[in-house]
Chains A and B, each alone.
Chain A
Amino acid sequence: GENVEQHPSTLSVQEGDSAVIKCTYSDSASNYFPWYKQELGKRPQLIIDIRSNVGEKKDQRIAVTLNKTAKHFSLHITETQPEDSAVYFCAASETGGSYIPTFGRGTSLIVHP
């Protein structure tokens, strides 16, 4: 089955800095890669996703890049703000047949004011 590794497990940055979280996946059939943000005590929320026919996608301060050859994808947050502090999860799945998303273990991002 699919295996998703996520690094780092904890990331501490100063407000205004950039943050990068990386995930690697093992199944070359995976073609859908969402990122979720989960604030303490709240539900996960999709913040950005990318499909395998695209190499990069941006949404304001958030971007995701995908390298299919190397089987890794990354989340980039620029100009971080204290409200970006949360746990971020990546996931990988194959949507053509059975959709069984596999999640990374999460990255706790702490943005210091």
Chain B
Amino acid sequence: KAGVTQTPRYLIKTRGQQVTLSCSPISGHRSVSWYQQTPGQGLQFLFEYFSETQRNKGNFPGRFSGRQFSNSRSEMNVSTLELGDSALYLCASSLAFDYEQYFGPGTRLTVT
């Protein structure tokens, strides 16, 4: 089985721009979660989607949003980028939200 894939792997944006990140889960997995990883804050949960519905959301501002398509692929969007949004964004897929999660390689976002 192919693993979780994320595109793009690296991205450089300037403040005020917006960005869309993509995640393709393992075939058959319906749950996709997104995380932000920074040296200062560690790993933080952004949100989780299951069958195209956002079921859970972490403590992030409304500039962070996402969606999931019928094939379980998910996108995450960050609007009005700030310097503090520079991070590694990881997605993880699982059969259901309380099953083993498999992480993608991440997208390294740098905001200048």
Given known A44-B90, A89-B43, contact A99–B106 (CB-CB < 8 A): no
Chain B neighbourhood of A104, CB < 8 A:
42
Interface size class of A (residues with CB under 8 A): 20 to 34
- Per the CB 8 Å criterion, the residue count for chain B at the interface is 21
Chain B neighbourhood of A98, CB < 8 A:
55-56
Q: Which residue of B lies closest to A104 (CB)?
A: B42
Q: Which residue of A lies closest to B40 (CB)?
A: A105
On whether the beta carbons of A44 and B103 are closer than 8 Å, the reply is: yes
What's the least CB distance linking B44 to chain A, in Å? 7
Q: How far is the CA of A91 from the CA of B35 in the complex (A)?
A: 13
Q: Does B97 belong to the interface (CB within 8 Å)?
A: yes
Q: Does B66 belong to the interface (CB within 8 Å)?
A: no
Q: Does B70 belong to the interface (CB within 8 Å)?
A: no
Chain A neighbourhood of B98, CB < 8 A:
32, 93, 95, 99
54-112 of chain B: CB within 8 A of chain A = 55-59, 90, 97-98, 100-106
Q: How far is the CA of A91 from the CA of B102 in the complex (A)?
A: 14
On whether the beta carbons of B100 and A49 are closer than 8 Å, the reply is: yes
Q: How far is the CA of A99 from the CA of B42 in the complex (A)?
A: 18
Q: Does A25 belong to the interface (CB within 8 Å)?
A: no
Given A46-B100, A103-B42, 9 other A-B residues pairs in contact with their CB atoms under 8 A: A1-B59, A43-B105, A44-B103, A46-B101, A100-B56, A101-B33, A103-B43, A104-B42, A106-B42
**Chain B positions near chain A (C-beta within 8 angstroms):** 33, 42-45, 48, 55-59, 90, 97-98, 100-106
